[in-house]
Structure 1
Amino acid sequence: MASTFSHISLSLLSLLLLPFFSAAFPHNGPLHLSSTPKLQAEKFIRDLNLFPNDEINTIPHKTSLDEAFAGPMLVEKQFKMPFLGAASGPSVQELGHHAGYYRLPNSKAARMFYLFFESRTNKNDPVVIWLTGGPGCSSELAVFYENGPFQIANNLSLAWNDYGWDKASNLLFVDQPVGTGFSYTSDEGDIRHDEEGVSNDLYDFLQAFFAQHPQFAKNDFYITGESYAGHYIPAFASRVHKGNKAKEGMHINFKGFAIGNGLTNPEIQYKAYPDFALQMGLIKKADYDRISKTIPDCEQAIKTCGSEGGEACASSYEVCNSIFNKIMNIIGGTNYYDIRKQCEGDLCYDFSNMETFLNKKQVRDALGVGDIDFVSCSSTVYDAMLMDWMRNLEVGIPALLEDGIKVLVYAGEYDLICNWLGNSNWVHAMEWSGQKAFGASSTVPFKVGGTEAGLLKSHGALTFLKVHNAGHMVPMDQPEAALQMLTSWMQGKLAIAESVERIAPK
């Protein structure tokens, strides 16, 4: 694919989150597990009505971007997004919107693309980074459909999102791992296969970002994301905390991280599939009994993956996903991201406007990406992370909790694929000094505008929130509740609200 870059206008576009998908199946009729994870990934991408031209963003030759990187590691520009409201809106400087590329130092030729939106409220607000899952999906999805500054219409015009997270934070979106979105490389050896590579790249980027924006380095910093980011986030959080403790580079004012409908501890979460499906009336008791017989094989396969790695991890992926597949064989065309809905044919969501919008020359010029391809979701990145899939990323969280790093795990109640029950189960099973007190704490309403919007449980630095009337993508389904959740949590008010509920007279 050809790629040219003006050295003056290197930039990026924001990325959103997509859920991961574990099996390829026709929505009607019997399920057939695909022979390769890459084919499964392609199926999941089509379910979102996304059709990237390439499987991964690799470039077989040098571009003008390489010349620009002969100087700084990070090249950034301010921009104003085209098709946003009236032509005479705020200036580029007033908007504080930035797009950029970062040359990853621990790579041969990788460039990481990011978008940065300064707070619409107060530049002293926390800096929040959002990571989309997949693995291999661009965070631009979140920018336009979830918690970014914009909402995209069918005519491809943009409107301000009244509940964008840039109303409470200085908001970063990063296309990662490399090969996703506008992030690219000319050497496939730069493709990441595990959380060590992913977290090191993000940490290096963060160091360069705060060096470029020293006025934000003093602000509180939070990591957020969704779906397969349930793997990325704990690894990245541990890397930032480790760097701070070792006094590596610039100190990052790291305060906490939030995982939305994530995959974090597969052994516990895969076991929850039959329980959730039975509770929600998706399957009958006889189905439950039959499907549950697969669970011991899954547990053993994950343990073998942990001890042996390699092909054992690929085997555990297939064994454990058979649990999910059996449920999908029964419920057919039900949307596994939101069980209240049905998928129409191969379409569970339609995010195609994003791809169309980002292919417009006026948009690409504004972002400075030239003719770099946009890979909305990369089946190659998905496949490359296969050995990482069944790893338990919960193991690093207790040490962070003990050091006072705040942890929020939230989940929409109607998501099947990363359901709230599996997330609640691993949170309760996590061994740390506050485990018993957390388990004994009361469940209280999370209220938005006086109406119950979820159920909250909290002790010390740990909070779990089940969000009502939402599926896999909470900021899309319940934008007001998601923004209040983020704001209250960062301000330490979620735990305060719980205490008030406990002592309030009934």
Structure 2
Amino acid sequence: MPPPPHLLKINLSWLPLVLLLLLNLFSLALCVSVITHLPGFRGRLPFYLETGYVSVDEEKGVELFYYFITSERSPSEDPVLLWLTGGPGCSAFSGLVDEIGPLKFVKSPYNGSLPNLVYFPDSWTKVANIIFLDSPVGTGFSFSASPEGYYVGDLSSSMQVHSFIIKWFIDHPQFLSNPFYVSGDSYAGKLVPLIAQIISEGTNYGNDLVLNLKGYLIGNPATGEKIDQNSKVPYAHGVGIISDQIYELVQRHCEGEDYKHPCNVLCAKMLDTVEELISKVQKTNILEPKCPRASPKPKSKVERMYVGIRYRELLGPPEPPPSFKCRTYVHLLNYYWANSKSTQEALHVKKGTVREWQRCNDDLPYTKDLHSSIKHHLNLTSRGYRALVYSGDHDLVVPFLGTQEWVRSLNFPIVSDWRSWNFGGQSAGFTITYSNNMTFATVKGAGHTAPEYRPKECLAMIRRWLSLKPL
């Protein structure tokens, strides 16, 4: 196994960056640890894993936690992906073990012992170096030393991610020449184009620090537009959840309305009917059993203050826990593993900074102040940056119909029209490519989010796209 990138000899051409790093050591406040073993995983990790903190707001003491895994193919040449998970408030660890990373939990009934991890071969680290970032602050193991630090929103947290990535690359200059992509899914899909645009407007930061930003990729992405919510009705109609009559009445009474905030009584009444019918299925994948979300819930309405944000009175898993047959059961294993003292010591989590790790923290005082990401998509793709937008076609959280609609609204000419893309001799979904380097693809049979349901197909998709090949 080659030595990890941190141990590679630095060429003298990097001397200005090294001096810059030394001069700004205290302001950067990077705390980095190389992890070779993890609780629950047998033997040494077969890949390079690094964890660490980066200070993004010194005044308020905000530090973002990350996991970095180098490519298992060619770390010095393969792209670097910054990965953000949705929510807002869902830990990037979920992306690592549930979606695109090289670890998976062994799904077995929880018996009080630490859940086991195994190597997962269909990881995107087969073709890319990936930074899994806990953002916004209060997500996963990211924290603020002051209560005020937790009060962020779409715009301010995106600026903090920008600060993170600049400092991270200063500390990892050996990756500056690699192609760099901002990526994420679900709610993070709304923020990714904004973050990419912020980076694109200052790719040259002086002192020889030039980021090789090539584009971005988003899965099952939110936009902030009413498109996301409104597309649930035609999708539910198309898959037989609502009838022709209900669909027609919604069209009649809700024309021009925002389905999330209807203004007339008849529209609101019909949308209540639609929501009642949709509630009978699993929104993340309409073909799977309906299951509760496996995240801790409050056991009382008593609030306890801890470093400025609300935490649950008692720690513990959801009640009742999801059935073992549910896909969300593995999220319960995430919870027990990440809250283990031995786990946090192995990951070098700073003691006392996070009272309870949650896969998705719903208690953050977070402001959704980016009303739409469409303009950022248009800005970036018009300037030549590459974009991959993909959707699981069984997702009712952010249906592909709405995603396809806003992609079309950009009005770029079609280069390669709607066609099947294949894996293993079978159709894995459908795709279309536009002249602005934007590719849209569906992943057949996948839900919210696609790699969790179709990992082999999604690895093939990302391998081809990163290699500048047609899907």
TM-score range, shorter chain: 0.7 to 0.9
Instruction: Name stretches of at least 5 consecutive residues in structure 1 with no aligned partner.
Output: 1-68, 302-314, 498-506
Structure 1 CA distance for aligned equivalents of residues 193 and 402 of structure 2: 17
Structure-2 change in CA distance of 1:409 and 1:324 (3 Å): farther
Residues 99 and 300 (structure 1), Cα distance of their counterparts in 2 relative to 1, 3 Å cut: closer
**1:204-247 Cα deviation digits (max 9, x unpaired):** 11111111111111100011111101211011111110112676
Tell me which residue corresponds to 2:367: 385
User: Does the CA-based 8 Å contact 1:147-1:475 persist in structure 2?
Assistant: yes
> Of the two structures, which has the highest relative contact order with CA contacts closer than 8 Å and spacing of 6 or more?
1
* Partner residue, 2:256: 296
Counterpart in 1 of 2:421? 446
Residues 487/251 of structure 1: CA separation in 2 closer, same or farther (3 Å cut): same
Aligned to 1:485: 461
Structure 1 residue 321, shift from structure 2 partner: 10
Instruction: Pick the aligned partner of 2:377 from 397, 401, 414.
Output: 397
Alpha-carbon distance in structure 2 between the residues aligned to 1:129 and 1:281: 38
The partner residue of 2:452 within 460, 476, 491 is: 476
Corresponding letter in the other structure for 2:468: G
CA contact (8 A) 1:145 1:151 kept: yes
Q: Secondary structure at the match of 1:442?
A: strand
Distance 1:81 1:197 in 2: 35
Q: Is the 8 A contact 2:151 2:366 kept in 1?
A: yes
- Structure 1 residue 277 and structure 2 residue 259: aligned? no
Aligned counterparts of 2:224 and 2:207: Cα–Cα separation in 1: 29
CA deviation string 1:149-187 (max 9, x = no partner): 101113511111111111111111000000111001132
Say whether the 8 Å CA contact 2:190–2:222 is kept in structure 1: yes
Identity level (%) = 26
Pick the aligned partner of 2:97 from 137, 140, 144.
144
TM-fit CA distance, 1:358: 1.1
Q: What is the match of residue 169 of structure 2? A: 210
TM (norm. structure 1) is 0.74
Task: Compute the displacement of 1:463 (Å).
Answer: 0.4
Please list the CA deviations of residues 349-379 of structure 1 after superposition, one character each: whole Å capped at 9, or x if unmatched. Answer: 2211011111222211111113543232222
**How many Å apart are 1:250 and its aligned residue?**
2.5
| TM, length-normalised to structure 2 | 0.79
- Contact preservation (8 Å) 2:421, 2:431: yes
Query: Closer, same or farther in 2 for the Cα pair 1:337/1:72, shift >3 Å?
Result: same
Name the stretch that deviates more: 458-467 or 105-114.
Answer: 105-114
Structure holding more helix per residue:
1
Could you say if the C-alpha distance between residues 211 and 106 of structure 1 is closer, same or farther in structure 2, counting changes exceeding 3 Å? Answer: same
User: Which secondary structure does the structure 2 equivalent of 1:243 belong to?
Assistant: coil
Number of equivalent positions: 400
Question: 8 Å contact 2:184–2:192 — kept in the other structure?
Answer: yes
Match in the other structure for 2:302: none
Residues 1:417 and 1:483: Cα distance change in structure 2 (over 3 Å): same
Measure the CA separation in 1 of the matches of 2:368 and 2:342.
37
Structure 2 portions without partners, runs of 5+: 1-24, 109-114, 294-321
Residue 116 of structure 1 is matched in structure 2 by: 68
CA pair 364-295 structure 1, distance change in 2 beyond 3 A: farther
SS in 2 for 1:444: strand
| Contact in 1 for aligned 2:193/2:380 (Cα 8 Å) | no
In the TM superposition, what is the alpha-carbon distance from 1:341 to its structure 2 partner? 1.7
Aligned twin of 1:17: none
Aligned partner (choices 30, 33, 36) of residue 77 of structure 1: 33
Bigger shift: 419-428 or 147-156?
147-156
Q: Higher strand share goes to which structure?
A: 2
Give, in angstroms, the shift of residue 106 of structure 1. Answer: 6.3
**Runs of 4+ deviating beyond 4 Å:** 69-72, 245-249, 319-326, 345-348
User: Do structure 1's residue 420 and structure 2's residue 400 form an aligned pair?
Assistant: yes
Q: Return closer, same or farther for 1:122/1:226 CA change in 2, 3 Å cut-off.
A: same
- SS of 1:244's equivalent in the other structure is coil
- Do the aligned residues in 2 keep the contact of 1:130 with 1:172 (CA within 8 Å)? yes
Preserved CA contact (<8 Å) 1:401 1:462 = yes
Q: Counterparts of 1:215-254 in structure 2 under 5 Å?
A: 215-244=174-203, 250-254=209-213
Residue aligning to 1:375: 358
| 1:288-327 equivalences in 2 (<5 Å) | 288-292=247-251, 293-294=253-254, 296-298=256-258, 326-327=273-274
* Residues in 1 aligned to 2:462 and 2:139: alpha-carbon distance in whole angstroms: 26
Name the counterpart of 2:304. Answer: none
